[in-house]
């Protein structure tokens, strides 16, 4: 059992938890993820590590409530216990000194991109951070990202905070201003459509781009292939070969379709849960 | 025993049949197919044993169970004695009694089998284990603590057997398991209807009573490496029993379509995550009306029978050789037939076909015929030109085999592996190229059987014990 030490509510649907998991905290690196199961009848879901504290033995996760498990997790409080919490899983993000690096976080993707930005800056890069969300209320960690990056740009889709526009609009301005040849690497994490849009943009400029793929997973240790994805025409398992991949090599259509395979069941699970709990309480 | 030579002549020629659920009823539920002997049946079957002095049956048992001895005790009605005798050698009798291919092991060598049906050794073993689980477990004696610590990586049949034997010798054993429950393939792979998960967990609990610690949610190679376990964790020796959990795919077009599962995913969702209880349990599984399972081994039979239980109208085994070459146990094939699984033999898929949404709508296959015997004596299948046709299926389960999971080999310095990625270990001792590190089971041999993995765990424990004793000297 893994104790929730702290909980922070960023918005009605985005929440942070600090979980006591010393074994994971001891060896995790930026870019890796954990899998958790909240109770005995629960499913295993992957969440990227948003922060860690080796001395305290804690892992920070940030999640968006999108279905039954995340909604149930969101109702848990500090002092509650998560049944299973395993990691670190996946390969760490490759960190090296390259010069300017564009680090883009969309929506809840700001959380996983944060430790990567920090590690890139610590490695001596000039990290240009761009974070964006649909609307002001869904934006979080502006302060932490400002500290983790060399400079930070913020946008909202609806213009309710700082400026109106997608992260790709800001990326385009930055690339034009700095010159594409001065940006050797871009890292983009967020919802699939956002990562795909970032990928399409940087492909035009020929800027190498790494994305962290969020495929469906079961075990997360390479034993089932549920998370498989075509990258450069080859089948890869996101859980062990990734989650980071070259965005320009990813078969986005296939990834999107596989991700939606259980949509009907996901809705059924949420409904079933809502009736059992009497209206989502 | 009071048997006289005269009594022996009256030996029943056939085994007491195993009570089982009706095939057409069981094909739609997840309850255990075989329901087990009653006391009377077990005693009656045990009396068929001739108590041969040479004990030929024992040479067929990879974990060296004292077969005639425990059977004699059953015949006398001494069930506690029989269980104790059985458990001197076998840490997981309820599992072995159910899933061992006895026809190729102990029962193959039974003297009675030369003229009649062999003694139902597996069925009697299962009876004993179940009797104990129902009537309270006695814990075998454990030697005084030696002060040595051993790490066992993986809690499948190899790791659990190794852990039990080492604990009985007085070593402190910690088992590291990547998943959230112990048992390996016994929990995620073999279906509930062949091996109830409650039975596996009861046997795991028995091991804990020996002092074995099991740390679930612990992926060795990720949270810690084998080297770190030895250098920082204070472990004096390590046994690697990580199995063959890496699914192979056919590498044909369409394999990443929605509706294509590896057998591992299909069975893990169903068995470990209990997707058949969805939505009361949270993990979903989705199958269509017509399911094709590719392969002919036990895993394929498990997949095809599971598909029926999940509600498929048709469940097909698609295999490129003929029925005679099916690698699955005869009994499993028979059960599959009885339950209504269909067989497309001498058939192999060449492409999985998609609908406009990227979901499976069919499978292009080619027919085969058997050609000349190859070097191994097996007649190799040859494709018949122009025989392609599209099979009408909407779900495909790939069960063509598994390789060793690379996480531990990849992160352990100085551990020699072969080209297939299996750990190289001496079959007689389990010793690897790395001092103090032993390995056994599927990670060494490639995908094999539960009982062979248990045998390897036993060998590993014996060698580790010798290694530790030599350290002490």
Q: How far is A103 from chain B (nearest CA, A)?
A: 26
Determine whether the interchain pair B219/A89 forms a contact, defined as Cβ–Cβ distance below 8 Å.
yes
Q: How far is A223 from chain B (nearest CA, A)?
A: 5
Residues of chain A with pLDDT under 70: 275-281
Determine whether the interchain pair A222/B217 forms a contact, defined as Cβ–Cβ distance below 8 Å.
no
H, E, C per residue of chain A: CEEEEEEEECCCCEEEEEEECHHHHHHCCCCCEEEEECCCCCCCEEEECCEEECCCCEEEEEEECCCHHHHHHHHCCCCCEECEEEEEECCCCCCCCCCEEEEEEEHHHHHHHHHHHHHHHHCCCEEEEEEEECCHHHCCCHHHHHHHCCEEEEEECCCCCCCECCHHHHHHHHHHHHCHHHCCEEEEECCHHHHHHHHHHHHHHCCEEEEECCCCCCCCCCCCCCCEEEECCEEEEHHHHCCEEEHHHECHHHHHHHHCCCHHHHHHHHHHHHHHCCCCC
Residues of chain B with pLDDT under 50: 1, 4-7
- Cβ of A46 under 8 Å from any chain B Cβ? no
* Predicted local confidence at residue A275, as pLDDT: 67
* Predicted local confidence at residue B206, as pLDDT: 87
Determine whether the interchain pair B279/A257 forms a contact, defined as Cβ–Cβ distance below 8 Å.
no
Q: Which A residues 155-194 touch B at CB under 8 Å?
A: none
* Predicted local confidence at residue A279, as pLDDT: 45
Q: Could you report the predicted ipTM of this complex, rounded to two decimals?
A: 0.94
Return the H-helix or E-strand segment holding B467: helix B450-472
Is there a contact between A26 and A11 (Cβ–Cβ < 8 Å)? no
Sequence-ordered list of residues with C-beta below 8 angstroms from that of A6, at least 6 positions apart, any chain: A16, A17, A18, A78
Q: Respond yes or no on whether the N-terminal peptide bond of residue A243 is cis (omega within 30° of 0).
A: yes
List CB contacts (< 8 A) between B447 and chain A. Answer: none
Place of tokens 């006591």: A20
Q: Which of B219, B280, B359 sits opposite A221 (nearest CB)?
A: B219
Q: In what order do the strands lie in the sheet with A100-106?
A: A151-156, A126-133, A100-106, A185-189, A208-212, A244-246
List CB contacts (< 8 A) between A69 and chain B. Answer: 282
* Predicted local confidence at residue A107, as pLDDT: 94
Place of tokens 């036990």: B298
On average, the pLDDT of chain A sits at 94
Written as one string, the DSSP assignment of B130-154 is: HHHHHH-PPPPP-PPP---EEEEE-
* Predicted local confidence at residue B473, as pLDDT: 64
List CB contacts (< 8 A) between B253 and chain A. Answer: none
Give pLDDT tens digits for B201-217: 988 998 999 999 999 99
Sequence-ordered list of residues with C-beta below 8 angstroms from that of B109, at least 6 positions apart, any chain: B56, B57, B58, B59, B60
What chain B residue is nearest to A255 in terms of C-alpha separation? B256
* Phi (first) and psi of residue A228, to 5 degrees: -70, 150
pTM for the complete prediction? 0.94
Q: What is the DSSP letter of B375?
A: T
Interatomic CA distance for residues B342 and B325, integer angstroms = 16
Q: Which of B222, B256, B265 sits opposite A235 (nearest CB)?
A: B256
Q: How far is A276 from chain B (nearest CA, A)?
A: 10
* Predicted local confidence at residue A277, as pLDDT: 58
Torsion angle defined by CA atoms of residues B24, B29, B32 and B34, in that order, rounded to the nearest 10 degrees: 0
Inter-chain Cβ pairs, chain A and chain B, closer than 8 A: 121
Report the Cα–Cα distance between both ends of chain A, in Å, rounded.
24
List CB contacts (< 8 A) between B282 and chain A. Answer: 41-43, 68-69, 269
List CB contacts (< 8 A) between A42 and chain B. Answer: 281-282
* Predicted local confidence at residue B376, as pLDDT: 75
What the block records as the tokens of B228 is 């770190």
List CB contacts (< 8 A) between B281 and chain A. Answer: 41-43
- Cβ of A223 under 8 Å from any chain B Cβ? yes
- Cβ of A216 under 8 Å from any chain B Cβ? no
């Amino acid at each position: 059992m893994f104790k929730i030490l702290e909980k922070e509510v960023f918005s009605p649907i985005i929440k942070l938890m600090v979980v006591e998991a010393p074994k994971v905290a001891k060896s995790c690196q930026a870019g890796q993820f954990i899998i958790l199961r909240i109770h005995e009848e629960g499913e295993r879901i992957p969440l990227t590590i948003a922060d860690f504290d080796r001395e305290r033995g804690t892992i920070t996760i940030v999640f968006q409530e999108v279905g039954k498990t995340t909604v149930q997790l969101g109702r848990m409080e500090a002092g509650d216990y998560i049944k299973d919490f395993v990691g670190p899983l996946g390969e760490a993000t490759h960190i090296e000194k390259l010069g300017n690096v564009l680090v883009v976080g969309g929506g809840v993707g700001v959380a996983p991109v944060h430790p990567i930005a920090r590690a890139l800056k610590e490695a001596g890069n000039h990290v240009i951070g761009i974070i964006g969300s649909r609307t002001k209320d869904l934006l979080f960690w502006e302060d932490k990202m400002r500290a983790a990056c060399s400079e930070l740009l913020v946008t909202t889709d609806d213009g309710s905070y700082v400026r109106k526009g997608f992260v790709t609009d800001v990326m385009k301005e930055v690339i034009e201003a700095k010159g594409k040849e001065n940006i050797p690497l871009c890292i983009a994490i967020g919802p699939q459509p956002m990562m795909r849009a970032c990928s399409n943009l940087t492909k035009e400029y020929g800027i190498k781009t790494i994305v962290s793929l969020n495929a469906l997973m079961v075990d997360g240790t390479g034993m089932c292939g549920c998370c498989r994805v075509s990258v450069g025409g080859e089948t890869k398992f996101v859980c062990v070969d990734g989650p980071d991949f070259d965005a320009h090599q990813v078969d986005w259509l296939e990834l999107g379709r596989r991700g939606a395979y259980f949509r009907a069941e996901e809705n059924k699970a949420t409904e079933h849960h809502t009736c059992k709990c009497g209206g989502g309480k | 025993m009071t048997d006289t030579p005269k009594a022996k002549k009256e030996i029943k020629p056939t085994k007491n049949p195993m009570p089982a659920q009706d095939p057409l009823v069981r094909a739609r539920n997840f309850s255990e197919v075989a329901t087990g002997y009653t006391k009377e049946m077990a005693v009656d079957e045990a009396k068929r044993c001739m108590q041969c002095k040479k004990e030929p049956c024992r040479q067929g048992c990879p974990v060296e169970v004292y077969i005639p001895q425990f059977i004699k005790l059953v015949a006398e009605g001494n069930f506690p004695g029989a269980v104790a005798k059985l458990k001197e050698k076998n840490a997981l009798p309820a599992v072995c009694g159910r899933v061992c291919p006895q026809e190729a092991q102990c029962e193959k060598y039974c003297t009675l089998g030369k003229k009649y049906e062999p003694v139902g050794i597996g069925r009697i073993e299962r009876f004993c284990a179940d009797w104990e689980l129902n009537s309270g477990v006695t814990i075998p004696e454990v030697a005084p603590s030696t002060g040595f610590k051993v790490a066992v990586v993986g809690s499948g049949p190899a790791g659990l057997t190794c852990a039990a034997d080492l604990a009985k010798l007085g070593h402190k054993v910690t088992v590291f398991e990547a998943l959230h429950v112990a048992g390996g393939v016994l929990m995620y792979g073999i279906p509930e209807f062949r091996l109830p998960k409650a039975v596996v967990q009861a046997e795991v609990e028995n091991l804990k009573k020996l002092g074995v610690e099991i740390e679930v949610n612990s992926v060795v190679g990720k949270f810690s490496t084998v080297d770190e376990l030895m250098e920082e964790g204070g472990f004096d020796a390590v046994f690697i029993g990580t199995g063959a959990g890496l699914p192979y795919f056919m590498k044909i077009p369409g394999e990443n379509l929605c509706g294509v599962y590896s057998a591992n995913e299909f069975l893990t969702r169903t068995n470990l995550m209990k997707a058949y209880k969805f939505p009361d349990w949270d993990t979903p599984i989705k199958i269509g009306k017509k399911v094709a399972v590719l392969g002919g081994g036990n895993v394929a039979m498990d997949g095809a029978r599971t598909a029926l239980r999940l509600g498929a109208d048709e469940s097909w085994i698609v295999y490129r050789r003929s029925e005679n070459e099916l690698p699955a146990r005869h009994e499993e094939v028979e059960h599959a037939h009885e339950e209504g699984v269909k067989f497309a033999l001498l058939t192999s898929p060449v492409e999985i076909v998609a609908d406009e949404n990227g979901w499976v709508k069919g499978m292009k296959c080619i027919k085969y015929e058997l050609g000349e015997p190859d070097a191994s004596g097996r007649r190799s299948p040859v494709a018949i030109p122009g025989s392609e046709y599209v099979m009408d299926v909407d779900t495909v389960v790939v069960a063509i085999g598994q390789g060793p999971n690379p996480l531990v080999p990849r992160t352990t310095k100085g551990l020699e592996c072969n080209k297939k990625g299996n750990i190289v270990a001496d079959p007689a001792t389990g010793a690897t190229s790395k001092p103090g590190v032993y390995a056994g089971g599927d990670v060494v041999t490639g995908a094999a059987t539960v009982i062979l993995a248990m045998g390897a765990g036993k060998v590993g424990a014996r060698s580790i014990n010798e290694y530790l004793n030599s350290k002490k000297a």
